[in-house]
Structure 1
Amino acid sequence: MLKVRLPGVMLLTLSATLGFSISMTSQAAEGEYDYFSANRQLIRNGVQSLLTCNGLFTSRRTLEQVFDQELAYLGEHTLGDASGGPYTVHPREQAISVGGGENGPAILSAFRKGIGCVVMAPDMSLEDIDSLPQLEMPYPKTDPRSLDWPNGDANAVVAMPTTINNDALQQASDWAFNRESEEQDTLSLLVIHKGKIIHERYAEGIDQTTRTRTWSTAKSIAATLIGMRVDSGAMALDAPLKIDWSPKLSGGEDPRNAITLRHLLNMSSGLYPIDSFNMEYATGSGLSYWAGASSVDGARNRGLVREPGTFWDYENYDTLLAVKAFKNTLGSDAAYREFPRKRLLDRIGMRNTLLSTDRFGDFILSSQVYTNARDLGRFGLLYLNKGMWDGERLISEQWIEFSRTPAPASASRGNDYGAQWWLVPDNRKKDVPARAYSTAGNRGQYVIIDPTHDLVIVRRGLDYGKQGFNRWDLLREVLKAFPE
């Protein structure tokens, strides 16, 4: 585990694979001065601002629910509580500002139609909200409540098949919800077998319409959109990326031009690490996630420190570089912003899903997607059905196979990572099906696909602290309900 110091007393403990949890210490690192303390304070305010904004205006939860669950992530360093504090909610503008004065720069986030909340730069105000991007794109006219699952929500849940042990499945559900640690907070569980929902359960205050943040499960959605462009011939896995690197080098070929789309999707670009080596909540992607910086400018401003493809390093910026390369193939901002809805979300019934952008209009598809359990179930079914939907091919079988093929550089960690998807590690292939694969996002966001049992499992959470919810253990427990 790696530790990042926030101002004063906070340590952020980063997993080597996903997200972060929070622990405390009362002493500064001996002999060290944190030159990034101002950034960390800025980002802390932005985390609370953006999560609260989305909690209120995207998830439609109460302020009490936001502080109890979304902001449990920040521990004792949450600013204020539901009764008040150094923050201001602006209901008319659907915005919230957090911080100011001794609490560091105030960070404002505002809800935007079709996108969700966008975090603004520290020097921006309510008057700047109208300059932020939004997506003015009508949804299909047919009411999803009148459409059969999975295109809609009618006739989604079926009676338990006689071949499945209902008691064992209920025990697996209880295992997911009744955790020994209060820090593991399951919001929803969906079990889809042979295309139909056979188990659906929500925590108090959550229902099938509640959108919550996917965190890095968004990376698998990003890879799907990119795969569509590869399938069409607009992108290639092993061709130059055509990224306008920063700073622009003179006097020879930029060594970063050796990086390919394959390297980025395999998390092995060889670029200077930020997110996995103590700096995620001080600079880099943290500033674009939480403080209004450009997600594109930061992603392309890293130097090469290793040969591409030789070292696995989980970096948000690798995903964002791939998204930038994807954007470059679409010709216009309008085509870019509408592509996810036109080519994926609307076609498989994911109408509760919002893909968020930075304030410059670039999708932050490494983390910032808001959706519900059923929409993620639909996404899982697309992969379980080998890229087919209603008799139409949306993504090639070749792309799906690439997605679930171990990245060469992941061999040292058990071959547990493909192309923006997680794989069953070598040491778990005796107790869960080796062909299973999964999305994974901080705070417990999982879409597990098990082709062996014609099964998709969705687990949404708001875990915090040490976290530790294990998706392969969940698959093991659910499979106890299935015949040998």
Structure 2
Amino acid sequence: MSSINKPASLSRATRCRRPVVALATTFGLLALAAPSLAQQQSTFDYWQYNREMIQRGLQAIFTCNGLFVSNRTLEQVFEQELAYLPDPVGTANSGAYVVDRERRAVAIGRPDGVPVMRAAFREGISCIALAPDQTFDDIDSLPELGAPPLTGDPARIAWPDGDMVEDAPLPAVIDQVALDAASDWAFDRESPEQVTLSLLVVHGGRIVHERYAPGVTMQTRTRTWSTAKSIASTLIGMLVDQGRISLDAPLGFPFLPEVAAGEHDPRSNITLRNVLNMSSGLYPIDNTNLELATGSGMAYWAGESSIEQMRHRGLIRQPGTYWDYENYDTLLAVYAMKNALGDGYHEFPRRALFDRIGMRNTLVGMDRFGDFIFSSQIYTNARDLARFGLLYLQGGVWHGERLISEEWIDFVRTPAPSLTDSGNYYGGQFWLVPDDRTDVPKDAYATVGNRGQYVIIVPSHDLVIVRRGLDYGAQGFDRWDLTREVLKAMPN
């Protein structure tokens, strides 16, 4: 019986395999081995369409803000603002773009398969990116802030609340020659990709050095990039000080996609501390070669919402255990701030901070839905950033009034727990002196923005340094090297 049953069993198995074998033989697939994971690398850029769209959106925002916020010429915009782009559309003389000076708006590109991308200036905000399906006819639907400016002429108000600076000799303890040498070090760069626009040094609350590149003035506002994160952290800290939000409580809003009713979403355990420490544990997007294809770039440059996709990430690590620099983590904290403020959200930055310390030249960018893009998009000048640094240098006090607590300053200067074994170089949306730097004081800390935007605070030397740049390409201007050079002029 067994000699009969075995062939029958084999015959059944053979019938099951035969069609596959025949098909493989027919198409010559039988000899192909299954590819390993290492071989499964795609060479096609599936994000190419998005990248081209965002490239145009970048140019629209840079051009719009360069012209209508920074008050630069189109020639200056192409020479410096757009030097950051690998292949800008057109030249300063002509090209496939439109500058509508009456509407203070810009359109980049032609309808050639990639959308025409547009940006428009809005009062009190700076330029807003329109969606690909919007035109200049939609400009009036974009948000704007119409709050009146601070009263008084800043030229007649003494520094730091205004811009009137006493013309007096430097204190004898400051080495003028060494300070000038530090300034030359900042401006006369060996790398043509490092373009210093301004350098401002405040010692003992007094401006002791101020220098601008040709074509730049004290009033010139440029993009802060991620220095905005430190400003956002300050505003959030004010709410923590008031007890309106908690550093160690969950963020308090649903993530996307939302879990079914009654189920627990592990992302609901993420705290404000986690996201301010860049340690949310959520899947990263911006630092996986997708920043200029999707992620925050869609809100920055393409008119997408800044609060939707940031909540649409899965948890891949335990919150607080892994440091991963991500624009979306900052925006999660800003969303928590928005929910805490309610109707006072749009007025809060000026009312709570800017107006109180004389930051008259500062504009906070928004997406087209009215949400602040506090991870990057603030436009301001060197003096306003010096005022911001001075607030921290003075321990959070301005003219005897406490604006931020010492506890919050301690938090932003404390290394993220996730960096204990990696150099301790980041705190609460401020950058810290790495463990391996021994040539600058360990108590120094700084805001850092792309293209060389730095506010460096050195409490032990009663010092604030502001450097604004339009670096491009590889960049590489080192903030701690600048600190070292300026300290050569300061008393020990």
CA distance in 2, matches of 1:70, 1:189: 18
The answer on whether the counterparts of 2:281 and 2:321 sit within 8 Å (CA) in structure 1 is: yes
* Partner residue in 2 for 1:433: 441
* Partner residue in 2 for 1:160: 170
The aligned runs of 1:295-314 (5 Å cut-off) are 295-314=306-325
The answer on whether the counterparts of 1:241 and 1:325 sit within 8 Å (CA) in structure 2 is: yes
* Partner residue in 2 for 1:476: 484
Q: By how many angstroms is 1:317 displaced? A: 0.3
1:147 to 154, 157, 160: 157
Equivalent residues, number: 452
* Partner residue in 1 for 2:430: 421
- Give the match's secondary structure for 2:290: coil
Residues 134-178 of structure 1 deviation map (CA, whole Å, 9 limit, x = unaligned): 001011211111111000011256421111110010000000000
* Partner residue in 2 for 1:260: 271
1:35 aligns with 2:46: yes
The answer on whether the counterparts of 1:57 and 1:111 sit within 8 Å (CA) in structure 2 is: yes
* Partner residue in 2 for 1:173: 183
Q: By how many angstroms is 1:239 displaced? A: 0.7
The two structures have a TM-score, normalised by structure 1, of 0.92
* Partner residue in 2 for 1:459: 467
The aligned runs of 1:12-161 (5 Å cut-off) are 31-75=42-86, 77-102=87-112, 104-155=114-165, 158-161=168-171
- Give the match's secondary structure for 1:426: coil
RMSD of the TM alignment (CA)?
1.2
CA distance in 1, matches of 2:185, 2:408: 34
* Partner residue in 1 for 2:398: 389
Q: By how many angstroms is 1:411 displaced? A: 2.4
Letter in 1 for 2:172: T
CA distance in 1, matches of 2:129, 2:338: 21
- Give the match's secondary structure for 2:210: strand
Residues 53-109 of structure 1 deviation map (CA, whole Å, 9 limit, x = unaligned): 00000000000000000000013x111110011110011100000122337211110
Q: Gapped runs of 5+ residues in structure 2?
A: 1-39
* Partner residue in 2 for 1:446: 454
In structure 2, relative to structure 1, the CA distance for the partners of 1:103 and 1:448 (3 Å cut) is farther
1:356 aligns with 2:365: yes
The aligned runs of 1:190-269 (5 Å cut-off) are 190-250=200-260, 251-269=262-280
CA distance in 1, matches of 2:79, 2:386: 26
- Give the match's secondary structure for 1:269: coil
Q: By how many angstroms is 1:34 displaced? A: 1.1
Which contiguous aligned blocks of 4+ residues in structure 1 show a shift greater than 6 angstroms? none
CA distance in 2, matches of 1:197, 1:257: 46
Q: By how many angstroms is 1:30 displaced? A: 8.2
CA distance in 2, matches of 1:422, 1:159: 33
In structure 2, relative to structure 1, the CA distance for the partners of 1:197 and 1:185 (3 Å cut) is same
CA distance in 2, matches of 1:36, 1:150: 47
* Partner residue in 1 for 2:416: 407
The aligned runs of 1:266-281 (5 Å cut-off) are 266-281=277-292
The answer on whether the counterparts of 1:112 and 1:118 sit within 8 Å (CA) in structure 2 is: yes
The two structures have a TM-score, normalised by structure 2, of 0.91
Residues 99-140 of structure 1 deviation map (CA, whole Å, 9 limit, x = unaligned): 223372111100000000000000001110001000010112
CA distance in 1, matches of 2:167, 2:319: 46
CA distance in 2, matches of 1:128, 1:278: 32
Q: Gapped runs of 5+ residues in structure 1?
A: 1-28
Identity of aligned residues (%): 62
Residues 379-407 of structure 1 deviation map (CA, whole Å, 9 limit, x = unaligned): 00000000000110000010001000000
In structure 2, relative to structure 1, the CA distance for the partners of 1:101 and 1:229 (3 Å cut) is same
CA distance in 1, matches of 2:78, 2:483: 30
* Partner residue in 2 for 1:23: none
